[in-house]
Amino acid sequence: MRLTILGCYAATPRTLTNPTSQVLEIKNHLFLIDCGEGTQVQLRKNKVKFSRIEHIFISHLHGDHFFGLPGLISTFRLLGREKELHIHGPKGIKEAILLLLKLGDSWTNYPLFFHELTEKEPQLVYEDETVTVTTIPLDHRVYTNGFLFREKPGDRKLNVEAMAKYKVDKAYFRNIKKGKDVTLDDGTVVANDQLTLDPPEPKSYAFCSDTAYNPEIVSQISKVDALYHESTFLESEAKFSLKTKHATAKEAASIAQQADVGALVLGHYSTRYKSIELFKKEAEEIFPNVFLGDDGKVFEF
């Protein structure tokens, strides 16, 4: 599971910082999460292959989280894209994008699908054989969702020594990986757990930006491998977080601690601060395994 931060600063783009956007590579998927202004430039800088993006997840309709989407959709058209593109986001995103395409007479030459979200409870929005994506209802000034990405358990691993010991024919390998027992030629039944090893633990990633401090999400994100949680302010400016429905680094760490996550990645920093190291220092007072998101930074989980 590989996370590339394209942008993770609040509000407006600057010469050296970009608004929210990131790419999650999981089980051969390349999911784009949020699409702030300048996202396609950041995709190029980080050498992300545009053609591999088939699903885009938009948390909410504030500009610093989706103003880059119209441009990216248009660029896909100019690049001659043919495969489908699916946009998952709040109700209203279809109207906003299609109006721009209409006014510019720039209809896509590829299938473009919108999956608009309105539910205030967790909702499964994507599933295939290897991964699921579920919304995480957040507490912000407008309707907002985070997204929980989970790998499905993989096939069991063949125990090479056991296979040789019982002289199991290769024709049975596929079923054995799926968890089935084997009946040998002499009628002996060999249990699957004698022939296989446990697969790697499925990975999970929770994206939570933007939101006020919201303990209600703790049970849903419990024990995820990695949590990205907004930390717009430090505790010294907590009064602003209450007004704007954002969170502090301390509050993000509290959520991580309560959910017992593997790692906390901070982001969505207000640009009022001279150093983002201040966010890490504050969060580590509560939760030990803290990482600072930053534009162009890559995390392997």
Q: How many CB atoms lie within 10 A of CB 98?
A: 13
What's the CA gap between 179 and 195, in Å, rounded?
A: 9
Concatenate the DSSP letters of all residues of 139-201 into one string.
-SSS--EEEEEEEPP-PPEE-HHHHHHTT--GGGHHHHHTT--EE-TTS-EE-GGGTEEPPPP
CB burial class (10 A; 0-12, 13-18, 19+) of residue 298? exposed
Is 260 labelled as part of a ligand binding site? no
What are the φ/ψ torsions at residue 97 (nearest 5 degrees)?
-70, -45
Residue whose pair of structure tokens reads 């579920």 in the numeric block: 134
| 64 given a catalytic annotation | yes
Query: Is 65 among the annotated ligand-binding positions?
Result: yes
Q: Are 89 and 66 in contact (CB under 8 A)?
A: yes
- 62 assigned binding-site residue: yes
Six-digit token pair at 192? 């699957």
Catalytic residue among 64, 186, 198, 295: 64
Structure tokens at 243: 């007004």
Token duo for residue 72: 């990216």
Strand, helix or coil at 222? coil
- Coil, strand or helix: which one is 12? coil
Residue 60 annotated in ligand binding: yes
Q: Which residues contact 205 (CB under 8 A, 6 or more apart)?
A: 1, 3, 24, 26, 148, 149, 224, 225, 226, 227, 228, 301
Residue for token digits 């938009």? 58
3-class DSSP state of 208: strand
Q: Give residues with Cβ within 8 angstroms of 187, minimum separation 6.
A: none
Q: Is 86 annotated as a binding residue?
A: no
Q: Is 268 annotated as a binding residue?
A: yes
Nearest of 264, 245, 246, 248 to residue 256 by alpha carbon = 264
Annotated binding residues for Zn(2+):
60, 62, 64-65, 140, 210, 268
Binding region? 60, 62, 64-65, 140, 210, 268
Catalytic residues, which ones?
64
